Amino acid sequence: MFSRRFPPLSTFPKPPFLECSLIVLQSRRFLLALLSIFQPIGVVLTCAFAYAYIPKYSCQPNFSEDGALPSCNNVASGTPCCTKASNMGWRYLMFTLGGITLTVFILRFVVFRFQESPKFLVYRGHDAKAIAVLEFIAKYNGRSCTVSRETFEALTTEHESIHSDTELLGSGAKQLQLSLFKKLQLEFVRYGLLFKGWQMSRLTLLVWLTYICDFWGFTLAGTYLPTVLAIKNGAIKLSLQFTYRSYVYIYLPGIVGVLLGGLMYNVPAVGRKYTMVISSALMATSIFIFSAVNSEASNIGLNVMEYFFQSMFNAVLYGWTPEVFPAPVRGTACGLASFWGRLFGIIAPLSAQHVIPAAGLKGDMTATNRILYLAGGITFGCVLTTLLLPGNKKLGKQSM
Kindly write down the DSSP assignment for every residue of 29-78, as one continuous string.
THHHHHGGGHHHHHHHHHHHHHHHHTTTTS-SS-TTSTTPPPBGGGS-TT
Buried-exposed string 231-263: b where 16+ CB fall within 10 A, e elsewhere: bbbbeeebebebbbbbbbebbbbbbebbbbbbe
CB 37 within 8 A of CB 260: no
Is 298 within the bounds of a domain? yes
pLDDT of 89 > 70? The answer is yes
Task: Give tens-digit pLDDT for 329-377.
Answer: 888 899 999 999 999 999 888 887 776 665 555 556 677 778 888 888 9
**Residue 194's closest CA among 203, 184, 183, 185?**
203
Q: Report the distance separating Cα 27 and Cα 64, nearest Å.
A: 50
Which candidate, 145, 127, 126, places its Cα nearest to that of 135?
145
Q: Is residue 175, in this structure, part of any structural domain at all?
A: no
Q: Collapsing DSSP states into helix, strand and coil, what is residue 366?
A: helix
Output the domain CATH number for residue 290: 1.20.1250.20
Asked whether residue 270 is assigned to any structural domain, the reply reads yes
- Quote the pLDDT of residue 56: 87
Are the C-beta atoms of residues 29 and 72 closer than 8 Å to each other? no
pTM attached to this predicted model: 0.74
In terms of residue numbers, what domain contains 201?
A: 33-111+196-399
| 386, part of any domain | yes
Backbone phi and psi for residue 344, each to the nearest 5 degrees, phi listed first: -75, -15
Higher pLDDT, 31 or 91: 91
Cα three-residue angle 348-350-354, rounded to 5 degrees:
115
Q: Which amino acid is at 61?
A: P
Query: Among the residues of the chain, which ranges form H helices?
Result: 16-27, 30-34, 38-53, 89-106, 118-123, 127-140, 149-153, 180-192, 198-235, 240-251, 254-264, 271-292, 296-324, 327-351, 365-387
165 CB burial (10 A radius; 0-12, 13-18, 19+):
exposed
Instruction: With respect to residue 12, please indicate whether it lies within any of the assigned structural domains.
Output: no
Q: Taking 70 as the threshold, does the pLDDT of residue 164 lie above it?
A: no
Residue 139 lies in a domain: no
Establish if 292 belongs to a structural domain.
yes
- Please provide the average confidence, as pLDDT, over all residues in the chain: 78
DSSP characters for 135-190? HHHHHHTT------HHHHHGGGS----SS---EEETTGGGGGG--HHHHHHHHHHH
Residue 381 in any domain: the answer is yes
- Which tens digit of pLDDT belongs to each residue from 195-240? 888 888 999 999 999 999 999 988 888 787 777 777 777 777 777 7
At residue 173, the pLDDT reads: 59
Total domain count, the chain? 1
End-to-end CA distance of the chain: 25
User: Can you tell me the mean pLDDT for 296-312?
Assistant: 87
